[in-house]
């Protein structure tokens, strides 16, 4: 199927590489909101314009799209809009990734090179399982969460939607990482992380809590 990658930044480049390695779809262009990129080429693939082009591209036979934007909220929102408009949201799974046949993947999911997704793990729509991240049995990864390169989750970890687990962080079994929480690179998480909080260090400690809604 001919597909478009939405987002021509660093993550978009990685996704192009993965889709080429997987060989299932043909990437026929990028779209990106940054006008400065329009007309440029990334590894031989042209940045065609912005998202408004999608209906025209669809009419020309583009059937699929993958949103490759690093910001979790933006990625999720674009993917939902494009899916609602009838485009097929495809996954990018590198052939070197190991995915258990009992694991379940949503749509618009990226599983990068060397990642491991074990038995009965569930990966939500628009999640990123980045290079060499390892997710053990029965983990649940929420929509548009991002596990950075080298993250290791023990069994039965629950990761809320939109959470970011930074490069090389480790999470002990059965813990909950709240929605939109941030785990710093290299952290060792030994306790649940509240939604929206930022934790860092070994063992991980909270350095920022979620911004509370203002009282009226």
Ligand X SMILES: CC(C)(COP(=O)(O)OP(=O)(O)OC[C@H]1O[C@@H](n2cnc3c(N)ncnc32)[C@H](O)[C@@H]1OP(=O)(O)O)[C@@H](O)C(=O)NCCC(=O)NCCS
Contact pick of 17, 185, 192, 206 for ligand X (by CB under 6 A): 185
Examine residue 106 and tell whether it contacts ligand X (CB under 6 A): no
Q: Check residue 174 for interaction with ligand X (CB under 6 A).
A: no
Binding of ligand X at residue 203 (CB under 6 A)? no
Under 8 Å between Cβ of 183 and 162: no
Tally DSSP H helices, then E strands, for the chain.
3, 25
Whether 180 is catalytic is: no
- Smaller CB distance to ligand X: residue 18 or 87? 18
Among 12, 64, 162, 184, binds ligand X (CB under 6 A): 184
Kindly state the smallest distance separating residue 37's Cβ from ligand X, in Å.
20
Closest separation in Å from C-beta 50 to ligand X: 24
207 makes contact with ligand X (CB under 6 A): yes
Q: Which residues are CB-contacts of 101 (< 8 A; sequence separation ≥ 6)? A: none
21 vs 207 by CB, closer to ligand X: 207
Taking the C-alpha atoms of residue 114 and residue 111, their distance in angstroms, rounded to an integer, is 9
Q: What is the DSSP string of 12-49?
A: HHHHHHHHHHH-SSEEEEEE-S-GGGTT-EETTEEEEE
Q: What does the DSSP 8-state code read for residue 115?
A: -
Q: Which of residues 114-153 bind ligand X (CB under 6 A)?
A: 130, 148-149
Q: Which of 25, 137, 146, 180 is catalytic?
A: 137
Helix (H) or strand (E) holding 122: strand 122-123
Sites of contact with ligand X (CB under 6 A): 130, 148-149, 166-167, 182, 184-186, 198, 200-201, 207
């Amino acid at each position: 199927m001919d597909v478009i990658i939405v987002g021509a930044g660093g993550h978009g480049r990685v996704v192009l590489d993965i889709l080429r390695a997987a060989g299932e779809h043909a990437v026929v262009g990028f779209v990106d909101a940054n006008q400065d990129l329009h007309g440029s080429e990334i590894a031989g693939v042209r940045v065609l314009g912005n998202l408004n082009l999608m209906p025209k591209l669809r009419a020309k036979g583009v059937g699929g799209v993958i949103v490759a934007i690093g910001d979790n909220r933006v990625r999720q929102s674009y993917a939902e809009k494009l899916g609602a408009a009838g485009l097929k949201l495809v996954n990018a799974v590198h052939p070197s990734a190991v995915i258990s046949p009992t694991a379940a993947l949503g749509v618009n999911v990226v599983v990068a090179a060397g990642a491991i997704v074990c038995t009965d793990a569930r990966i939500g729509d628009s999640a990123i399982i980045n290079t060499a991240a390892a997710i053990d049995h029965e983990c649940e990864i929420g929509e548009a969460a991002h596990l950075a390169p080298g993250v290791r989750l023990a069994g039965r970890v629950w990761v809320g939607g939109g959470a970011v687990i930074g490069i090389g962080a480790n999470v002990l079994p059965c813990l909950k990482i709240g929605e939109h929480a941030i785990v710093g690179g290299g952290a060792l998480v030994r306790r649940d992380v509240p939604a929206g909080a930022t934790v860092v260090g070994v063992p991980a400690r909270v350095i920022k809590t979620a911004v509370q809604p203002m009282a009226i």
